[in-house]
Homo-oligomer: A and B are copies of this chain.
Amino acid sequence: MIIVMNASATDSQLAAVIEKIREAGLTEHISRGTERIIVGAIGDERSLSEQAFELLPGVERAIHIVKQYKIVAREGHPDGTIVDIRGVKLGGKDVQVIAGPCSVETQEQMHLAAAGVHAAGCKLMRGGAFKPRTSPYAFQGLGVTGLEYFGKAAREYKLPIVTELMDVRMLDTFMEHDVDVIQIGARNMQNFDLLKEVGRVNKPVILKRGLSATISELLMAAEYIAAGGNHNIILCERGIRTFETAYRNVLDITAIPVLKKETHLPVVIDPSHAGGKAWMVPALARAAVAAGADGLLIEMHPNPCEAWCDADQALTPQELKDLMVSLKAIAQAIGRDLA
C-alpha cells in the first residue's frame, strides 16, 4: 500500500503512519518529494484498510497496490479454468451456448424447449423455476414443481440444467433435484450469505454480475465462493445499468478481455437480458463470441408470444438454430469452435 502525505506533515504524523504499518506486520519505506511524502507499506497489504490510513492526520490518500482477490486471480494461475458440467466443458476451445426459456411454465413447454435446444446443437439448458421479479404481483416462478418439469424435459435429451437459486434455504432442494449448474442472479451478486453457502457445495456456479457492479466487485464476489472451497465458478456479464434508455441495459463487451486477463475463470455473456429485445440478441451474441466469450446464455421459448415473462426477449427455436450457424462461423474465424 502507498500512503500519500502532505509535504507539511509533521514528524509525529509520519510516526503514526509508520506505527500503523508496523502493527500490521509490514515495513515502511519513505520517499520525500517536493509536494508530497510517499510512504510505502511493504509486505502483504491485503490486511490493511485504505480508510484507516486516510483518517490519520497529514494523510491525503492511501492506495492499494495489489488486487484484493487472490484465488480467482489470473496472477499465479496462468492457465484458464475449464469447468466440467457432466462432461460438457466450459472454458476450453469450444464456445458453449446455454439456451432455454426465461421461466419454466408447463411440462409441455419444457419438452418443446428441450427439443429446440437439442435441435439447435446446444449442449446445456437454462430455465428459471424461481424468478426474481421487480413486482410482488408478478409471476414468481413455479418453484419446486418447476425444477421437476425442467429435470424431466432436459433428461430426455441428456442436457445438463442451469437454474437460479435465490433463497439460501432452497439449496438442499437444488441438490436433491440434481441441478447441474447453480445460477446466482445479478440482484444477488452481493448476497454474501448465499455466496458462502454455494461456496460449500460441489456444483458449478454461474455468478452473474450485478447491474452496477464493478469488475473488481464481481471478482470479489467470486472470491467469496472460492474461499468456501468451490472453485467451479463461471462469471457472467449480462448488461450494466447506465443513463441510456433506448435499451434495457448496456452489454459491457469490454468486460470480456478484461476478465480474461484478470481471472482464470470462464466468462459467459447473456445477450438476452442485456438488450431486452429478441431482435438485438443475434448482434450481441456475435459480438460476445468475437470478443472472446467462453459461452452464451440465450433465451429461447417454443412460443415467445405466449411466454409468461420477458416474452419479447426470447428467440424462437428456429431463430436459435439460425444464430448458431453464424456464431460457429465467428468462433472459427478467431480460432475457436462451437460445439
Contact = CB atoms under 8 A, between A and B. Distances in A.
Interface string A38-57: 10101110110101101110
Contacts of A166: 191-193
Interface in A267-308: 274-275, 277-280, 283-284, 286-292, 304-305, 307
B40 A34 contact: no
A55 B304 contact: yes
Given A242-B240, A254-B247, A136 B227 contact: yes
A326 interface: yes
Interface residues of A, number: 100
Interface stretch (A80-88, A92-100, A145-153, A212-220): A212-220
Interface centre among A40, A46, A309 (most CB of B within 10 A): A40
Interface of A: 2, 4, 29, 31-36, 38, 40, 42-44, 46-47, 49, 51-52, 54-56, 63, 65-66, 68, 132-137, 140, 166-169, 187-188, 190-193, 196, 211-212, 214-217, 220, 223-224, 227, 240-247, 250-254, 256-258, 261, 274-275, 277-280, 283-284, 286-292, 304-305, 307, 309-313, 326, 329-330, 332-334
6 contacts: A31-B40, A32-B42, A52-B307, A254-B284, A256-B287, A257-B283
